[in-house]
Amino acid sequence: MSDMPKSGNTAALPRVSKGKRPQYFADPATDKLLSMVVTLMSELSVTRDRLDSVERLLAHHGVLDQSEVEGYRPDAEAAAAREQRRAAATARIFRILDNELNETLGPDAPRTYEELAREFAADPSERR
């Protein structure tokens, strides 16, 4: 019997790297920045391809004109969904720094921009 999953039977496994991260440049910060830029570039490329597909299909079917896309203003529900997508993308892009922060500061490290801002705004004697 094979250990391979049957067709259509997929498991959602977390993507976690094992072992030490390879270093390509003398400064580890450069490697981290490169990783973030490549992640951002891939996110943008996929998004642009999908957007191009949607706009071409809609124009082909006469559903909307390009000016409608340019003039669109999202309602509260759409704005909230967009914010969630942005937050998820930001987490993916900054994952390498977040992992390092967890290793350095532990699980009590600030998790959001707002928490981090409050941490730095606090009196130094009140900081963790």
Residue pLDDT, tens place only, 34-70: 888 898 899 899 999 999 999 999 989 999 888 888 8
> Does any domain span residue 47?
yes
In sequence order, what are the residues at sequence separation of 6 or more whose Cβ sits closer than 8 angstroms to the Cβ of residue 35? Answer: 96
> Does any domain span residue 12?
no
3 has a pLDDT exceeding 70: no
> Does any domain span residue 127?
no
Domain residues for the domain of 63 are 25-73
Is residue 38 a contact partner of residue 45, using CB atoms and an 8 Å limit?
no
> Does any domain span residue 120?
no
> Does any domain span residue 84?
no
The angle subtended at Cα 107 by Cα 34 and Cα 28, nearest 5°, is: 25
Q: What's the structural domain count of the chain?
A: 1
**What's the rounded Cα separation, in Å, for the pair 51 and 85?**
15
Confidence (pLDDT) at 78: 95
* Eight-state DSSP code of residue 64: -
90 has a pLDDT exceeding 70: yes
